Amino acid sequence: MTTSNNSLIQLNNFSYQYPHTANNALKSINLSLKKGSFVGFAGPTGAGKTTLIKSINGIVPHFEGGTFSGEVLLNGKAADTMSTAEIGRSVGTVLDDPEAQIICLDVEQELVFGMENYGVPPAEMEQRMQKALASVGIAHLLGRSTASLSGGQKQRLAIAAALAMLPEVLVLDEPTSELDPLGSEEVFRVLKQLHQEQGMTILVTEQKTDLLARYCDQLVILREGEMVLSGTPREVFQHPDIFELGVALPEVTELARRYYPQAEPPITLDEGVQFCRNVIQTFGG
Ligand SMILES: Nc1ncnc2c1ncn2[C@@H]1O[C@H](COP(=O)(O)OP(=O)(O)OP(=O)(O)O)[C@@H](O)[C@H]1O
C-alpha cells in the first residue's frame, strides 16, 4: 500500500472498468484532496465524473462490481477493504435527483431514517436533526410532507439527511441538474456556507461551470476517463487547452476568450462587467 500523507481522500493510479464493458471508465487517476477542500469536477458527458464520485463513496466497486487497479484511500485506508457502512460514516452522498433520493413521507422521517440504520441513540438523533436542518436553512420545514417541498428545498433536505450522519466529506453528483438557476444558486450557497462555517470537505460534479467558477477552490477536468486539468477555477478556465476539452466555459469567459483571445478572461459575471468597461474605455479612448 502506498503511504498516505495527510490527505483525506487519495487516489493512486486508480483505474476502473465496469462489468461487460470494453474500456476503462477511469484511467490512472492520481488525486490527493485535503480536509476542507471544495472541489468541482467537470468534463464532457461520459468523462467519468460520476464514476469518480462512486469510487469515493464506495458504490464502485462494492455495488457495481467490475475490475480496478491502483487504490482509493480514505484517511489512509483502502476503500475496497472497508464496508459500505464504514465508508458511509465518512462520506455523505447527495444525488442529482432529490426525488430518487428522498424516500420518506415527511421531513423528520427522512432525517431519522439514515440515523436509525446506523443505530444513533434517539436523544442524539433529535439534536443532529435540528443542527442538520439549521445548517441548510430549512429548520422551518420540519413537520412538512416531503411531497410538498420545492425542488431546491428537496435538494437541501437531501443535503441535511447526509449531514445528519456527520460525514467528513460530502460528495454531490450534479446536485442542481433538476433545478432552475435560482434553485441551483441556493444549493451552492448552502455548500459554500457548510464549507466556510463548518470546514466541510465538498466534492461536487456539475455541468454549470459558472457555479464552479464562483464557488469552488479547485476544479478538476476529466475527459474519457482521464484527469486532464486541475487547478483553481481561474487557472483551469484560462488554460490555453480548455477549448479543446469539451467543457462548457462560464459564458463570460467563453465570450471574452473568443473575441479578445489576448486578454486575461473574466470567470465571473462581476469580472465580466469590469472586462466590458475596460474594453469600452480602450475603444472609447
Ligand atoms: N453502470 C455502468 N455500466 C457500464 N458502463 C457504465 C456504467 N456507468 C457508466 N458507464 C460508462 O462509464 C463511462 C463514464 O461514465 P460516467 O457516468 O462516470 O460519466 P460522466 O462524466 O458522469 O457523464 P455524464 O456527464 O453524462 O453524467 C461512460 O463511458 C459510461 O458509458
CB-CB neighbours of 219 under 10 Å:
23
Q: How far apart are the first and last CA of the chain?
A: 63
Q: Which fold has domain 9-249?
A: Rossmann fold (3.40.50)
So what's the pLDDT on residue 45? 94
Average per-residue pLDDT in the chain?
Answer: 92
So what's the pLDDT on residue 259? 86
| Of 236, 138, 135, the residue nearest 191 (C-alpha) | 135
Confidence tier at 49 by pLDDT (50, 70, 90): very high
Q: Residue 107 CA to chain centroid, in angstroms?
A: 23
% of residues, the chain, pLDDT over 90: 73
Q: Which of 27, 45, 51 to mutate to test the pocket of ligand 1 (most atoms within 8 A of CB)?
A: 51
So what's the pLDDT on residue 2? 46
Lowest-confidence range among 114-118, 189-193, 261-265? 261-265
Atom of ligand 1 nearest to the CA of 43: 21
Confidence tier at 15 by pLDDT (50, 70, 90): very high
Confidence tier at 98 by pLDDT (50, 70, 90): confident
226-249 pLDDT, tens digit per residue, is 999 999 999 999 898 888 898 989
DSSP secondary structure, 133-152, as one string = HHHTT-GGGTT-BGGGS-HH
Give residue ranges with CB within 6 A of ligand 1. 18, 21, 25, 43, 45-51, 64
The grid coordinates of residue 152 equal 431546491
pTM for this predicted structure: 0.92
- The yes-or-no verdict on residue 31 having pLDDT over 90 is yes
% of residues, the chain, pLDDT over 70: 98
> Domain-by-domain residue ranges, the chain?
9-249
Ligand 1 midpoint to CA 46 (Å)? 5
Ligand 1 midpoint to CA 210 (Å)? 23
Ligand 1 midpoint to CA 133 (Å)? 32
So what's the pLDDT on residue 284? 66
| Count of residues making up the chain | 285
Instruction: Please answer whether residues 72 and 9 qualify as being in contact, where contact means their C-beta atoms are separated by less than 8 angstroms.
Output: yes
- The yes-or-no verdict on residue 285 having pLDDT over 60 is no
164-193 pLDDT, tens digit per residue, is 999 999 999 999 988 888 888 988 999 999
So what's the pLDDT on residue 280? 83
Atom of ligand 1 nearest to the CA of 26: 14
Segment of 10-14, 89-93, 265-269 carrying the highest mean pLDDT: 10-14
Which residue type occupies 13?
N
Ligand 1 midpoint to CA 107 (Å)? 32
Atom of ligand 1 nearest to the CA of 222: 21
So what's the pLDDT on residue 3? 43
Ligand 1 midpoint to CA 190 (Å)? 27
Ligand 1 midpoint to CA 116 (Å)? 32
CB-CB neighbours of 244 under 10 Å:
10
Element holding 186 (H helix, E strand): helix 181-198
Q: Which of 14, 20, 27, 49 to mutate to test the pocket of ligand 1 (most atoms within 8 A of CB)?
A: 49
